Amino acid sequence: MRKAGFMVAAAILAASSFTAVAQNSNGMRYKWRDGQGLPHYSDSLTTDAIKYGYDVVNDRGLVIQHVERQLNPEERAAARKQADEQAAQQRATQERARNDSQMLSAYPNEAAYKASLQQELDNIDQQINTTRLNLHSQEKALTDLLTRAGDLERAKQPVPKFLNDSIAKQRGIVSGQRGALDRQQATRDAAAQKMEQQLQHYRELKAIQAKGQ
């Protein structure tokens, strides 16, 4: 209780002293609170005021400006990082707005926009068809090699090394073609999903554009 009473008394005394000084001068003053929350007043900017943050007051004791406390190195680094992230987000937003504007200008209706997106799917479909034809051809070649090896085994004849090597190589080719086909199909599925999202975004932009007209 004594400590609390002392702090209150100190605050009242400091405030009274400041008011008296302020009434005797037309200059600006500074006020701040230290680490314990006690108020301080000065007619010059001190290191503690900068450290804890301060208010600039006029000759009537009214606050005319507030200055935040000085940041430590970690806080300054965090503030710079946050500012950089916000700037990046702002640039991304502006870039999306430009792209949307260009898209609406280039494609006046959904049919035209959908046709342009469909070209990408058509290209992927052509690649898939080509890979399927190659896979069919490679599978047939593997089947022929296996048939030759099977005929020799049924005839109780040894399978030559070159034939076994050819079978192993052909199996690798077939496996590679199947993997390529799977990847192309996954790419096609992702492109189709993206296309639907782009079309939905286009519809939303056109709806906003229609409301603004």
* In the chain, where the domains are located: 2-67, 72-106, 108-212
The percentage of the chain sitting over the pLDDT mark of 90, rounded to a whole number, equals: 67
Q: pTM of the full predicted structure?
A: 0.58
- Residue 5: pLDDT band by 50, 70, 90 thresholds? very low
Whether residue 57 contacts residue 27, with contact meaning beta carbons closer than 8 Å, is answered with no
Report whether pLDDT(206) > 70: yes
Tokens representing 149 are 């090896």
Report whether pLDDT(174) > 90: yes
Report whether pLDDT(46) > 50: yes
Q: Is pLDDT larger for residue 105 or for residue 14? A: 105
Mean pLDDT of 102-108: 93
Tokens representing 27 are 């200059």
Q: In this structure, what DSSP letter does residue 11 have?
A: H
pLDDT at 213 (0 to 100): 66
Give the H or E element holding residue 41.
strand 39-42
